[in-house]
Each structure stands twice: as C-alpha cells, then as structure tokens.
Amino acid sequence: MVSREDVVEAVKKILLEAETKLSDDVVEAIKRAYDEEEGYAKEILKAILENVEYSSKNKIPMCQDTGIPVFFVELGRELCLDFNLYDAIREGVVKATKEIPLRPNAVHPITRKNSGDNTGMHMPLISVDIVEGDRMKIAVMPKGAGSENVSALKMLLPSQVNEIKKFVVEVVKNAGGKPCPPIFIGVGIGSTFDGAAKLAKKALLRNVNEMNEFELEILNAVNELGIGAGGLGGKYTALAVLVEMGHCHTASLPVAVNVQCWANRRAWIELR
C-alpha cells in the first residue's frame, strides 16, 4: 500500500534527480550535437556537458533557474489511497525546496509576492490520469522561465494543417537565443485550447532520440534557422521535436509549442 510519506519522499527524490542529473537520452542528444558541431557552438556544448557532469557528481542543480514543479501522475485504478495525493505532492515540493535546495520561483501573478517554497494557488501543477493496475507513476518536469516564456499556442483553422510546421518554426525563430538553445520542442496538436498546451508539455517526457518522420521533418526545418547553441549560430538549434496529438472539435485545430532549454530536466518513479 502506498502511504502519504511514500509520496512525499518520492517527490523529493525525483526532484533531486531531475535538478541534478539529465537522463541518458538527453545527454546522448547533446553529445551527438557536440561531435558534429564546430566553432563557438562546439565550445558552448562542451561547457554544457561539463556543467552536466559537475552537477551530477556534486548533486547540485545544473541551472540557477530550478524552475517550477510540473507533475504528471499515472494512478492505477486498483490502488487505494487514504490520503490527499495533491497535498502529499505539495509537501514533497516544500521539503525539496528547502533540502536540495531549490530557488523559490512561485509568485502571485499580480502582486508578485513569493510563496517561498514553490507552492501556491494551483502550484505545483499536477496532472493525474487514471490507468489500469495497482501502481502509481509520478513524473516531474521542472520548467524554467527562459524557455516557458517563448512557448506559444495558436488556434489554427482545420484547413491549416499544412501550417503546423510553419508555426513551430516561427515560434523558434522569434525565440532566438532566449531559451538557451539547443532546445527540445514539445508540440501538442488537437484537443482544446488548454488540452493542446498540456499535450505539448507532456510530449517532452518522451525519449528524445525516438522521433517519427513528421517530427524529424519539423526538426530539420527548425535547424535550418541556424540559431545554434547559445544563439551564436550552428547546425543544432533544436535537438528534438516531440509531438502528441488529441482529437479536437471539427471546427478547430489548436497547436501548442512548449519550448524546453538544453536542460530537458525530468525524472520518474513508480510506487505500489
């Protein structure tokens, strides 16, 4: 049986992992770009890889912007909980903020008053899906502002399917060097206004080295921009484009682009 304390400790554990260690697929993508780049781009990627190694070795956050905590939870319908899951995750965030430590980034949207512990109204952001089985899987994605601020959503018309790639490229072009490229791009197509944004963020949890033909087509178009590492030019403006789709209304075509910096931080844990 999963207890409240199990969840609290699991949240602390995966936040520490996400903040201090990039997953193997992300590191592989960065290394591959390093091997193929030259000039300033290669030097920037070298510095990134050194930063990643130092962060992992010393268990310290790899970036001063430790982001805001975004959680995706898969909850088995046979798993019975006798506590408030949202409160348990929130408590884990509070403890992680103090113990790792994490920079407190959650503020009131109008007064800008900082809560001091990365929690607040609807924060952390928690999405729960009910699935088969008796297990709980928790994924965390700390999301920094540099990349989040250049993300975008557009309500295309159903006749504008061919405009999707153009929109993604446009978002990246407008972002320039702001999101600390090379970036990872999550794209949500379909669903609703808010649903597309959720799909775009969730797409970033996928293995970045497993892209289909449509995703690779968009990636190639993005890299033709030549923005490159650090915005100083190069072959790799983006390292992956990951797309998630959902059925939508017959009269709409929502498309969301969620940009993630080179530090595509995420971690998972399974409880039962």
**The 3-state secondary structure of the chain, one letter per residue:** CCCHHHHHHHHHHHHHHHHHCCCHHHHHHHHHHHHHCCHHHHHHHHHHHHHHHHHHHHCCCCCCCCCEEEEEEEEECCCCCCCCHHHHHHHHHHHHHHHCCCCCCCECCCCCCECCCCCECCECEEEEEEECCCCEEEEEEEECHHHHCCCEEEEECHHHHHHHHHHHHHHHHHHCCCCCCCEEEEEEEECCHHHHHHHHHHHCCCCCCCCCHHHHHHHHHHHCCCCCHHHCCCCCCEEEEEEEEECCCCCCEEEEEEEECCCCCCEEEEEC
Q: Give Cα 61 to chain centroid, integer Å.
A: 16
| pLDDT at res. 259 | 98
pLDDT of residue 127: 97
User: How far apart are alpha carbons 33 and 21 in whole angstroms?
Assistant: 19
pLDDT, residue 9, reads 98
Burial group, residue 210, by CB count within 10 angstroms (0-12, 13-18, 19+): exposed
Residue 105: the pLDDT is 98
Overall pTM > 0.85:
yes
**What's the alpha-carbon Rg for the chain, to the nearest Å?**
19
Dihedral (CA of 235, 200, 15, 95) sign: positive
**Residue 201 tokens, joined:** 């963020």
pLDDT of res. 66? 98
Q: Give the model's pLDDT for residue 47.
A: 98
What is residue 50's predicted lDDT score, i.e. its pLDDT?
Answer: 98
Q: What is the pLDDT along the chain (272 residues), one digit of tens a residue?
A: 899 999 999 999 999 999 999 999 999 999 999 999 999 999 999 999 999 999 999 999 999 999 999 999 999 999 999 999 999 999 999 999 999 999 999 999 999 999 999 999 999 999 999 999 999 999 999 999 999 999 999 999 999 999 999 999 999 999 999 999 999 999 999 999 999 999 999 999 999 999 999 999 999 999 999 999 999 999 999 999 999 999 999 999 999 999 999 999 999 999 99
Closest CA relative to residue 238, chosen from 29, 15, 13? 29
Q: What is the dihedral of CA 28, 32, 35, 41, to 10 degrees?
A: -100
